[in-house]
Amino acid sequence: MTSLAFFVLLLACVVGYWINRRGAQAIRADGQRLHSLASYHGLFSALMILVPVLTLILLWLVLQGPVIDRLTMAALPEGALDGLDSGGLQLVLAEIKSISRGQIFGTPEDWKIAAAEHHVALKARSSALMLGAVIALAAAIMLFARSRVGAEFRARQGVERIVSGLMIFCSTVAIFTTVGIVAALVFETGKFLSLVPLREFLFGLNWEPQIPIREDQIAASGAFGWVPVMLGTLVITVVALTFAVPVGLLSAIYLNEFAPQRLRSVAKPILEILAGVPTVVYGFFAILVVAPAIRSLGTSLGIDVSPNTALAAGSVMGVMLIPFISSFADDALSAVPRALRDGALALGATRAETMLNVLFPAALPGIVGGILLAVSRAIGETMIVVMAAGLIAKLTVNPLDSVTTVTVQIVTLLIGDTSFDNPKTLAAFALGMMLFLVTLVINIFALRIVRKYREAYD
């Protein structure tokens, strides 16, 4: 039935298009000048039908479920639902629905079978009604659109208005999704802050979210200061950038200015492969190769190294960021006009001087923008640190110690037994909110720099 409705819609659009176009062509055949091309008259009709009828079908499909459920429950015999709470009511409804689909377990009461039959009948009636409504609406619009056809009618502007409306709708979908995500975060964070004071969260130096989640559990009372967790994120980010920025920049400079064409054509794709490695795989690399190597190097030097170190997670994350920074820097360097390079070379500058004094400064805003984007990636990176960094929040900046990060804590807080009304779970949202804010600020910063860089040569 639903597919029939869609078919009717399609048919109506095609017929509407055809009728209007014929109408317009007939006017032109009479020797009048049309304001819009005949095909615009056709399109006008098709779009006029498409948008409202499609909306009708979709709304109907969304709303018919709840409405039919209500009607089914309302038609149940007196007393059948006595003494049931909302969970019980849902169970009854689910049973009726499964009976109506022919899935019968045990021997249901007669009134349930009757209700199931009623449910089926309601559904059939709803489908038929929908089809009727679709046909009626499509026909009405088609007639209306046909009546508009005339030499003076501005069908092209009409079509353009509808199309631009559709485009506005599509672009607002993305905005509304973002707003929805932020709203959810803000809402849950608000709940968290009603349980844990903001001051304690922002300035507390202890992060021990191990609190009882059921009355009968025994655990400490918990502490929710985000400082050590954020510090862990910062330590790992700094370690990652210490590896990624010099290596990424120098490789970009080399590839862009000094590498022979042949090497460049091999090295660039390899760097891009590096960018395509899933972060889980980097995580393996960190725990299986890098962490043990750092540990054994540390013991041979007589330094105490914990099994999970910020250094291991950070350096592997740095490797992940190398292609990111390198390709950003490469793009920025390539965007510097050739004429500038020639100008410096013609003054007798060496290639190194040209790079250092002219190309690099000219590309710097773009490069900085790329680095800031890499920072926000490092802060948000989850998989590598879940696998290779620790779980215990320590207030330390020692990269040989184990630290935990905001993302790791969010993951650990939300896996396993959770209920969404205790501070432990809600803390994840508060952390997510802070992460969101920090990366937002960095991204705004990065975008502004990138924009400034765009203006440099225009």
Partner 1 sequence: MNDMTKFDRFVGLNETKISAQGVNVFYGDTHAVKDVSVEIAERAVTAFIGPSGCGKSTFLRCLNRMNDTIDGARVEGQIHLDGEDIYDPKVDPVQLRAKVGMVFQKPNPFPKSIYDNVAYGPRIHGLARNKADLDEIVEKSLRRAAIWDEVKDRLDAPGTGLSGGQQQRLCIARAVATEPEVLLMDEPCSALDPIATAQVEELIDELKRNVSVVIVTHSMQQAARVSQKTAFFHLGTLVEYGDTGQIFTNPKDPRTEAYITGRIG
Query: To the nearest whole angstrom, how small is the minimum distance from the Cβ of residue 272 to partner 1?
Result: 22
Stretch that binds partner 1, among 124-132, 336-344, 399-407, 412-420 (CB under 8 A): 336-344
Query: To the nearest whole angstrom, how small is the minimum distance from the Cβ of residue 300 to partner 1?
Result: 47
* Cβ–Cβ under 8 Å, residues 192 and 211: no
How far is Cα 292 from Cα 286, in angstroms, rounded to an integer? Answer: 9
How far is Cα 404 from Cα 308, in angstroms, rounded to an integer? Answer: 10
Query: To the nearest whole angstrom, how small is the minimum distance from the Cβ of residue 339 to partner 1?
Result: 4
Query: To the nearest whole angstrom, how small is the minimum distance from the Cβ of residue 253 to partner 1?
Result: 16
Choose, by CB under 8 A, the member of 241, 245, 362, 410 that binds partner 1: 362
Choose, by CB under 8 A, the member of 29, 266, 270, 339 that binds partner 1: 339
Choose, by CB under 8 A, the member of 90, 350, 398, 418 that binds partner 1: 350
Question: Which of positions 247-286 make contact with partner 1 (CB under 8 A)?
Answer: 261
Question: CA of 372: how far to CAs of 108, 329, 369, 408, 431, in Å?
Answer: 64, 12, 5, 21, 21
SS3 17: helix
Q: Name which of 35 and 264 has its Cβ closer to partner 1.
A: 264
Query: To the nearest whole angstrom, how small is the minimum distance from the Cβ of residue 252 to partner 1?
Result: 19
Question: CA of 434: how far to CAs of 103, 152, 327, 422, 447, in Å?
Answer: 48, 58, 29, 19, 20
Q: Which residues contact 205 (CB under 8 A, 6 or more apart)?
A: 225, 227, 228, 395
In the block, residue with structure tokens 């490695």: 277
Q: Name which of 344 and 384 has its Cβ closer to partner 1.
A: 344
Stretch that binds partner 1, among 169-177, 243-251, 337-345, 429-437 (CB under 8 A): 337-345
Q: Name which of 344 and 375 has its Cβ closer to partner 1.
A: 344
* Cβ–Cβ under 8 Å, residues 137 and 53: yes
Q: Name which of 194 and 357 has its Cβ closer to partner 1.
A: 357
Give the H or E element holding residue 201.
helix 198-203
Q: Which two tokens stand for residue 420?
A: 């969404």
Question: Which of positions 436-455 make contact with partner 1 (CB under 8 A)?
Answer: none
Query: To the nearest whole angstrom, how small is the minimum distance from the Cβ of residue 342 to partner 1?
Result: 6
Query: To the nearest whole angstrom, how small is the minimum distance from the Cβ of residue 245 to partner 1?
Result: 23
Q: What is the DSSP string of 300-366?
A: HTT----SS-HHHHHHHHHHHHHHHHHHHHHHHHHHS-HHHHHHHHHTT--HHHIIIIIIHHHHHHH
Q: Is 411 in the site for partner 1 (CB under 8 A)?
A: no
Between 164 and 203, how does the x/- string for binding to partner 1 read (CB under 8 A)? Answer: ----------------------------------------
Q: What values do phi and psi take at 388, rounded to 5?
A: -115, -20
Q: Name which of 69 and 257 has its Cβ closer to partner 1.
A: 257
Q: Which residues contact 128 (CB under 8 A, 6 or more apart)?
A: 1
Q: Name which of 263 and 275 has its Cβ closer to partner 1.
A: 263
Which of 232, 280, 248 minimizes the C-alpha distance to 393? 232
Choose, by CB under 8 A, the member of 88, 165, 307, 343 that binds partner 1: 343
In the block, residue with structure tokens 């170190």: 309
How far is Cα 442 from Cα 56, in angstroms, rounded to an integer? Answer: 43
If 0-12 CB within 10 Å is exposed, 13-18 middle and 19+ buried, where does residue 128 land? Answer: exposed
Query: To the nearest whole angstrom, how small is the minimum distance from the Cβ of residue 410 to partner 1?
Result: 43
Query: To the nearest whole angstrom, how small is the minimum distance from the Cβ of residue 162 to partner 1?
Result: 45
Stretch that binds partner 1, among 30-38, 209-217, 314-322, 340-348 (CB under 8 A): 340-348
Q: Name which of 125 and 454 has its Cβ closer to partner 1.
A: 454
Between 310 and 329, how does the x/- string for binding to partner 1 read (CB under 8 A)? Answer: --------------------
Q: Which two tokens stand for residue 253?
A: 């400079």
Which of 422, 401, 430 minimizes the C-alpha distance to 210? 422
Stretch that binds partner 1, among 37-45, 71-79, 194-202, 348-356 (CB under 8 A): 348-356
* Cβ–Cβ under 8 Å, residues 259 and 302: no
Q: Name which of 177 and 357 has its Cβ closer to partner 1.
A: 357
Q: Give the count of residues interacting with partner 1 (CB under 8 A).
A: 21
Using only C-alpha atoms, the chain has a radius of gyration, in whole angstroms, of: 32
Q: Name which of 89 and 347 has its Cβ closer to partner 1.
A: 347
Which of 79, 429, 440 minimizes the C-alpha distance to 226? 429
Q: Is 345 in the site for partner 1 (CB under 8 A)?
A: yes
Choose, by CB under 8 A, the member of 337, 391, 437, 440 that binds partner 1: 337
Q: Is 456 in the site for partner 1 (CB under 8 A)?
A: yes
Q: Name which of 29 and 346 has its Cβ closer to partner 1.
A: 346
Residues binding partner 1 (CB under 8 A): 261, 337, 339-350, 353, 357-358, 361-362, 456-457
